[in-house]
Amino acid sequence: MSLPPARDRTNLRGSVAGIEMSLDLSLHKFPKDLRLKDGSGCRLRPLLKDDEKSFHEFFLGIPDSERMFIKHRVTEPQAIQEWCHNIDLGRNLPLLAVSGKKIIADATLHQQLGGWKRHIGRVSVLVHPQFRGRGLASTMVKEIVEIARDSGLEKVEAEFIGEQEAAIKMFAMLGFSNLLRLENYVKDMQAIAHDYVLMGLDLKTDEEYAGVG
């Protein structure tokens, strides 16, 4: 496989370095204490290597009916170990909500540092059932979107299956629009087909739009 021209490789390294610098600045506000709708509190911070056990326990607390829609086999300790021992926040940034020593939610920003979609991030969020209905999911998505904006991304996407109506509605309320829906396009861990829904949000500010043209 041939490498890109030296000038392109230099530009790519410069872009990656710029992303890392912007990300470092954006993450300086964490850990961040958060007050939920019911008055309870939690702390937001990125994933740490020492989170392996509690992160696995978090996924085990997700109902089987929801876990089968997760792309990875999160009930297997090896999968969580791989994430925690190979943290690369520039590619995958898991932002955790922690109450005491318990992880209660995870919102992740996925990035591609090269290729056609290098300007687009992907957002996912998951909240433990005991802590839902408190505004935690929407707050964490907003935090991830701000990190994406600070990192220089131009757009963010979110993927769903058709049955995730509550999540689709929440993302729509946060400004995400429906990009496409494909009938019976994806299969869960039990090989059952579902509609695939893709939503997106443009991160350009009003000031940037005003400067176009």
pLDDT band at 72 (very low <50, low <70, confident <90, very high): confident
Task: Report pLDDT for 7.
Answer: 52
Domains and CATH numbers, the chain: 6-153 (3.40.630.30)
Cβ-contact 52, 81 below 8 angstroms: yes
Q: How far is CA 36 from the centre of its chain?
A: 20
Predicted TM-score (pTM) of the model is: 0.85
Structure confidence at residue 68 as a pLDDT band (50, 70, 90)? confident
Burial of 181 (0-12, 13-18, 19+ CB in 10 A): middle
Which amino acid is it at 84?
A: C
pLDDT of residue 5: 54
Output the average pLDDT for the chain.
88
Note the pLDDT tens digit of each residue in 156-203: 999 999 999 999 999 999 999 999 999 999 998 889 999 999 999 999
Question: What is the predicted pLDDT for the residue at 108?
Answer: 96
pLDDT at 69: 82
Residue 1 DSSP symbol: -
Convert the pLDDT of each residue in 106-147 to its tens digit: 999 999 888 999 999 999 999 999 999 999 999 999 999 999
